[in-house]
Every structure is written in C-alpha cells, then in structure tokens.
Structure 1
C-alpha cells in the first residue's frame, strides 16, 4: 500500500566478519583452539623481550663499542660496517658505479613489467642483451675511463645480487632447453639431457663449487686464466639449470595432448609449437616452482664463501673477527637474515602477483 512505510534492511554488522573468520580458522575445534592459545602464549613470552632488546634498549648512534652501554642490541656495529656489508672491499670512490648498475637493473625490471613496453620486442631484446654488457663495464671497468676493480674486491650484498641475477637469468633458458630435450623423441638428445639432469641433481652444490674452482681451469689452455667469480657463476648456473629443468618438465607434462595435436594441425613446426602454444601454458602452471627455485638459488649463494668469495653472509662473519667488535654476532646474523628475508619475500609476492595477473588475462 502507498501509505505503508517501506521496510529498510539493516546493514550487516561489521564486527561479525572478523569474529566469523577467527571462529573458522583459529577456533574451529578443540585442537585448533589449544594450538592457537599456545601460539599466543609463546608470542607473549618472546615478543615483548625481543622488542625491548631490539628497539627500546638498543643503541643506534655511535662510532665504537664503547657507545653500546644500554644492554640492548648494538646496531652501532651494523651502522659502522654497513658500507662493507653492501659493497665488500669495493673502493669507496668507485661505489657509485655499483649504485648506477643496480639502479639500471631496477629500471629494466620495471620496464619489463609494464604491459605496453613488453609488446616491443626490440626494446626487450636491447635490455636483455645490453644490460649485461653495461653492468660488466660499470662493475669491472677497464673502458670509458673507468678504473679496473678486480673481482676479488667484490663482496657483500653486491656480490650476492650479481651471483643471484646471473644464475636466475641463465638457469631458466638452459633449464627450458634441458626439459624440452628430456621429452625429445630423439634418443641421443634425450639420453644426454637425462644424464645431465640426474648427475647434477645428485651432487651437492658445495661439491659443484669445489669442482668449478679447482677443476674448471684444467679444461682451458695454460695461458687462459679463469676468474674465480666466473667459476662460481658457471657452477651455480649448471647446478640450478638441472633443477629448473625438472620444474619446467612438470609443466610440460601437465599440458593436454590435444594442445600438441591442435598445433600440429595448424601446420606449426616444433619450435613454433613450443614457443607459441606449449611453453606459455606450461610456464604459467609452474610459476610457483620456478620462483621457489629462484629463492633457493638466492640463498645458496652463501656457499661461495667456501671458495674464497665473500658475499653478504661471508662479509658479516668476517666482521665478527674484528677485535673491536667482538660479541655482536647476533646483530650481524639478524641483519643478514633480514636482508635475505626481504629479497625472498619480495620474489614470493611478485610470484603471487604474476599468477593473479596471468590468471585474469587467461580468464578474459
């Protein structure tokens, strides 16, 4: 009726949403309730003292250990050693070259992430082929009036990023080729790829680095000197490529056989089928596995310390031997752990973003 007052539906109470989530995820059963309460009690016992030590009672400003008198964390140690942690033994007057090289890397990553720019194949090719040359000239020098900085002076976070980026960029395409070779119908190629993958996956990375450092120069003429950093890069790339091949092979096996048959029906050749039809779908399926391998590679760079290369963790451990800073290993390990966590967490979040974006584009 016209005179009736229209009924209004009250909006749902917002407080019921988080309570419902807590009930479903944390207190859904007696066991989950007990585990949740135990976890909260553990946080109550550990978190306040940690905050008190790391922030409230910490010493932040100073020049020596004499300034660390509050009984909390001595972040003065990190501040005084920060330059060495970042650049190793790279000359301070030349560190702008490292900053410029890493800045160009960040710009290249951003450019490759923009959808409009990814359509320009020439731009992508110029970035992929040109950046390694520019980075080498900046870091090592010897051209354009830049002084030569030998690789034994490289270290810290700079060396970690160099090893990780080179390993990631090279292990992925090599792993793809190995995965395709393992699924090849040619017996010789398949046997060679299977042998390579199984041998390298069955050897620890420490052994690979030792072999690369000691035995690799034996395969070159006597007058050819193989840089120690180059040996480590070759060992890491060859080792991680075997694991990457198995990740990609899992994606290839998940593609329905009808996709291959449809591509053949269109008259596409083998490499056209792989590049245009099969590999885009396979790589989309195994993004978590690929990024997981990248994260493992980034953390495995710490093993280069055993062949005399001082990455971030190696530089931090070396600082503990300084008699002026004895007893502050906890702060050093926390700093190194936070840096590794920040990069690994960033790669993980980028992986999730990429999965969502590719899933949306596939849905459209």
Structure 2
C-alpha cells in the first residue's frame, strides 16, 4: 500500500449513536443517574400497569345496568349507557339524526380544509364559515325546514362544546385582528377605543362574562326581543376571546421589521393592501403557536357554561354522576371527558405543528 493512501473511515461505535447512544449519554452517564433511572422506571411501569389493568384488563365492557359491573376495574358500561347524552345532551332521541348529520358534515369539511391539495379549497372555506353555520343552526333547531322544533336548552354534551368552541374560534379571530390593528392605529380615537375594549375584557374573568351575557344582555334588548341562552353565551365567549386574540396578533405585528412597512410604502400600496398582502400574512405565520394556544384554552373553557345552566360534555358527566342508579362511577365519567378533550386538543396541536413546518420560510442550519 502506498504511503499517501488512507484507510476508509470507520463508522462510529454502536454505543454512541441511535437510541442506545442517547440513553448512555443522558440516562446512564453516572452511577447516580443510573440509579435514578431505574427507580423512576420502576414506579412508572408500576403505575402504567395498574392503570392498564383498571382501564382494560379488569374493566367491564358489556351490559346495560350497573349489575354488569362485577369486576374490580373500570365500569365502561356506564359510559356506553350514557354515551348519547355525552354526545348530544338531552336532544330528543327521534331527532338524533340531526346532530349526527352535523357531526358528519363537520368532520368532512374539516378533513377537506385540512388537506392542502383539496380542489376549490377557498370556496369550501368560505362556505364553511358563512353559509354552513346558519344552515346547521336551522337544522338543529328545526325552524326552517319544517322539522319539530328542538329548543337550544335541550342541546348539550359534545354538541354544545363544539358549537361554542367553533363559533368562538372562527368569529374571535377576525375581530381580534381588527382590534390589534386598531390598537396600533395612528388615529387616537380608534387606538383608544381598541385599547379600552381589550383591557376591560382581559381584566374580567370568563365566568363573570358568562353571567353578564346570561343576565344583563337581555336588559339591552328591545322590549319583546329575546335571545336564547346559547346565543348569549356565544356573544360572551366571542367578546372575551377576541380581546386575548387581539394581543396575540399585536405581538405578531410588532415582530414584523420596520423595513417591511417601508418596502410596502415604497411600492405605492395603500393601507389595506399593505396590511392584507404584506404585513398580516407574516404576522399570522409568526403567531401560529400563540393563536393555537389561545384556541385550545377557549376550547377547554367551554366547560364554564355549566354555571349558566348549559350542559356541555363535562356538565353532562357531572349530571350523570348524580344519577342514583349509577352512583360511584365518577372516575369513569371524568376519564372519558378528559379523553374527549385530549383528542380534540391533541389533533389541533398536531395540525398546527404541521402548518408551522409547511409555512416555515426560514433557513434551518
């Protein structure tokens, strides 16, 4: 072999790369860390096995009464018997096809909008946020199609949770954008009004807002006019959420470099085009994590409508826990409700991460 020739590089040792390398570096890099790793792993495995036994192996799955719950584990029979109430509240059984149709169409539209290659996606979005809500509201209440009228006070469960969350999210975002722009406006009146609105609503708890919407809002309506409790709750949630959304958007607007504004002015763009075409797309992209975080908080805060007599999915669970025929199964109820909230929140968070990566225009090293 000639002196100037070199042997090929050897691959790194197996214990310095992959999962094994990471574990040796972070979990077993010293005697103390090794002991702590084994102790924590022991208690974690013990807890996981106990939960698995209670929720799966020793659980009761089949039956219609509490007499079917003979094992020592969870009684999921309670959830199966009350499942329709968890989903639809006290909606009449003969008309359950209406909320089921709402759930199905909502899932289809959400899937079409989430898939970025869907044809005519813009038109589907416009339909979803304009015509679709009013169409479904009339279908659920039955005032337009000649169907039996179902008063909103009979709605409940996941149906109410989704309605309040979706309306709050869809309506509060554009209002929050306008408030954020108003707070940064050069016009003193607009800036002052936007600031007062944001500070007032951010300084009031949501529980108080719901009480005000339920009790005080009817006082401002004309004589003989009446808004049902659901509409009042929606107004309160939207006004409250819009104030928080405005501050999130304002943070994104302030993060945009001044040169972007100057470049838009140099191109001769008016204020509307500058904001819509240049500033807002960048600001919204920056604030995706904060916007999604606000949406998740709003979704979970829908459970507070219980205090004004509306039974969302958590309220239905609490009401079911007081049934004398099913006393003692509150744990199963809360676990099921927590799982419902987690599924929706996890799905939203994962989609937001995908959206961040898709819209990322930075240069990663």
Contact 1:178 1:245 survives alignment (8 Å): yes
Who is 1:300 aligned against? 301
Q: How does 1:266-285 map to 2 (within 5 A)?
A: 266-285=267-286
Q: Where does the alignment leave 5 or more consecutive residues of structure 1 unmatched?
A: 2-6
Q: How does 1:206-221 map to 2 (within 5 A)?
A: 206-221=207-222
Pair 1:22 & 2:23 matched:
yes
Q: Where does the alignment leave 5 or more consecutive residues of structure 2 unmatched?
A: 2-6
Alpha-carbon distance, 1:146 to partner: 2.0
Pair 1:180 & 2:181 matched:
yes
Q: 1:52 to 1:229 in 2, by over 3 A?
A: same
Give the whole-Å Cα distance in 1 for the aligned partners of 2:124 and 2:103.
Answer: 19
Does 343-352 or 93-102 show the bigger shift? 93-102
Who is 1:171 aligned against? 172
* Length-normalised TM-score, structure 1: 0.92
Who is 2:4 aligned against? none
For these two proteins, the number of residue pairs brought into alignment is 360
Alpha-carbon distance, 1:347 to partner: 0.8
Contact 1:65 1:76 survives alignment (8 Å): yes
Q: 1:74 to 1:181 in 2, by over 3 A?
A: same
Who is 1:317 aligned against? 318
Q: How large is the Cα RMSD of the aligned pairs?
A: 2.4
Who is 2:147 aligned against? 146
Contact 2:112 2:121 survives alignment (8 Å): no
Alpha-carbon distance, 1:134 to partner: 1.6
Contact 1:112 1:118 survives alignment (8 Å): no
* Length-normalised TM-score, structure 2: 0.92
- Measured against aligned partners, the alpha-carbon deviations of 1:232-291 in whole angstroms (never above 9, x if no partner) come to 101111111111111111100000000001011111111111110000000000100000
Who is 1:78 aligned against? 79
Q: How does 1:222-241 map to 2 (within 5 A)?
A: 222-241=223-242
Alpha-carbon distance, 1:13 to partner: 7.1
Q: 1:243 to 1:27 in 2, by over 3 A?
A: farther
Alpha-carbon distance, 1:297 to partner: 0.3
Alpha-carbon distance, 1:41 to partner: 3.0
Give the whole-Å Cα distance in 2 for the aligned partners of 1:251 and 1:119.
Answer: 29
Pair 1:93 & 2:94 matched:
yes
SS of the residue corresponding to residue 115 of structure 1 reads coil
Q: How does 1:93-172 map to 2 (within 5 A)?
A: 93-117=94-118, 121-172=122-173
Give the whole-Å Cα distance in 2 for the aligned partners of 1:224 and 1:293.
Answer: 33
Q: How does 1:29-68 map to 2 (within 5 A)?
A: 36-68=37-69
